[in-house]
Chains A and B, each alone.
Chain A
Amino acid sequence: MAPITVTIKLFAHFRTGRFKEADHQFPPGVACRDVILGLGFRLGEMGIVMVNGHHATLDHSLNERDTLALFPLVGGG
Chain B
Amino acid sequence: MDKILRVNMTDLTTKVEETPAEWAGLGGRALTSTIVAKEVPPACHALGPNNKLVFAPGLLSGTAASNSGRLSAGAKSPLTGGIKESNVGGTAAQMFARLGIKALIVEGMPQGEGWYALKVGKDGVTIEEERGLLGLGNFAVIEALQSLLGKKTGVIAIGPAGEMRLTAANISVKDPSGKIRSHGRGGLGAVMGSKRIKFIAIDDEGTPGIQLADPEGFKAASRIFTKALMDHPVSGQGLPTYGTNVLVNILHEAGGLPTRNFTHGQFDGHEQICGETMHDTIVARGGKPRHGCHAGCVIQCSQVYHDQEGQYLTSGFEYETIWGLGANCLITELDDIARADNLMDDLGLDSIETAVAFGVAMEAGLLPWGDGKEVVRILREEIGKGTALGRVIGSGAGAVGRTYGVTRVPVVKNQAIPAYDPRSVKGIGITYCTSPMGADHTAGYTIATNILNVGGQVDPLKKEGQVELSRNLQIATAAIDSTGMCIFIAFPALDIPECLPALIGMINARFGANLTGDDVTGLGKSVLKLERAFNLAAGLTSADDRLPEFFHSDPITPHQAVWDFTNEEIDAFWDF
Interface of A toward B, CB cutoff 8 Å: 9, 11-13, 15, 20, 47-48, 50, 53-55, 69, 71-77
A53: contacting residue among B241, B254, B271, CB under 8 A:
B254
Q: Does B247 contact A (CB under 8 A)?
A: yes
Q: Which residues of A contact B451 (CB under 8 A)?
A: 48
Distance in angstroms between the alpha carbons of A47 and B208 in the assembled complex:
45
Q: Does B454 contact A (CB under 8 A)?
A: yes
Beyond A11-B253, A76-B239, A76-B244, 6 additional pairs, beta carbon < 8 A? A20-B271, A47-B452, A69-B253, A72-B238, A74-B452, A75-B491
Dominant secondary structure of chain B at its interface with chain A: helix
Q: Which residues of B contact A74 (CB under 8 A)?
A: 233-234, 237-239, 242, 246, 250, 452
Please, what's the 1-or-0 string for B215-255, where 1 marks a CB less than 8 Å from any CB in chain A?
Answer: 00000000000000000011001110111111101100111
How many contacts between A and B, using CB within 8 angstroms? 90
Distance in angstroms between the alpha carbons of A70 and B282 in the assembled complex:
24
Find out whether the CB atom of B445 lies under 8 angstroms from the CB atom of A11.
no
Find out whether the CB atom of A11 lies under 8 angstroms from the CB atom of B249.
yes
Interface centre among B233, B457, B559 (most CB of A within 10 A): B233
Can you report 28 A-B residue pairs in the complex whose CB atoms are below 8 A from each other?
Answer: A11-B250, A12-B238, A12-B275, A20-B271, A47-B453, A48-B451, A48-B453, A53-B254, A55-B457, A69-B253, A71-B253, A72-B237, A73-B234, A73-B238, A73-B453, A73-B454, A74-B233, A74-B238, A74-B242, A74-B246, A74-B452, A75-B239, A75-B452, A76-B239, A76-B275, A77-B319, A77-B441, A77-B447
Interface of B toward A, CB cutoff 8 Å: 233-234, 237-239, 241-247, 249-250, 253-255, 271, 275-276, 301, 319, 441-442, 445, 447-448, 451-454, 457, 459-461, 487-488, 491, 558-559
**Closest residue to A71 on the B side, CB-wise?**
B250
Find out whether the CB atom of B253 lies under 8 angstroms from the CB atom of A77.
no
Distance in angstroms between the alpha carbons of A12 and B239 in the assembled complex:
11
Distance in angstroms between the alpha carbons of A11 and B448 in the assembled complex:
17
Given contacts A69-B253, A74-B234, A74-B250, contact A11 B276 (CB under 8 A): yes
A77: contacting residue among B271, B488, B558, CB under 8 A:
B488
Distance in angstroms between the alpha carbons of A13 and B233 in the assembled complex:
12
Q: Which residues of B contact A76 (CB under 8 A)?
A: 238-239, 242-247, 275, 301, 319
**Closest residue to A13 on the B side, CB-wise?**
B241
Q: Which residues of B contact A75 (CB under 8 A)?
A: 234, 238-239, 246-247, 447-448, 452, 454, 488, 491
Taking the closest CB of chain A, its distance from the CB of B444, in whole angstroms, is: 11
**Closest residue to B458 on the A side, CB-wise?**
A55
Q: Which residues of A contact B238 (CB under 8 A)?
A: 12, 47, 72-76
**Closest residue to A70 on the B side, CB-wise?**
B253
Find out whether the CB atom of A53 lies under 8 angstroms from the CB atom of B255.
yes
Q: Which residues of B contact A73 (CB under 8 A)?
A: 233-234, 237-238, 452-454
Q: Which residues of B contact A72 (CB under 8 A)?
A: 233, 237-238
**Closest residue to B488 on the A side, CB-wise?**
A77
Distance in angstroms between the alpha carbons of A73 and B454 in the assembled complex:
9
5 cross-chain pairs, A with B, having the tightest CB-CB distances, nearest first = A76-B244, A74-B238, A73-B233, A75-B234, A76-B247
Q: Which residues of B contact A20 (CB under 8 A)?
A: 271
Find out whether the CB atom of A12 lies under 8 angstroms from the CB atom of B241.
yes
Distance in angstroms between the alpha carbons of A75 and B460 in the assembled complex:
16
Taking the closest CB of chain A, its distance from the CB of B463, in whole angstroms, is: 16
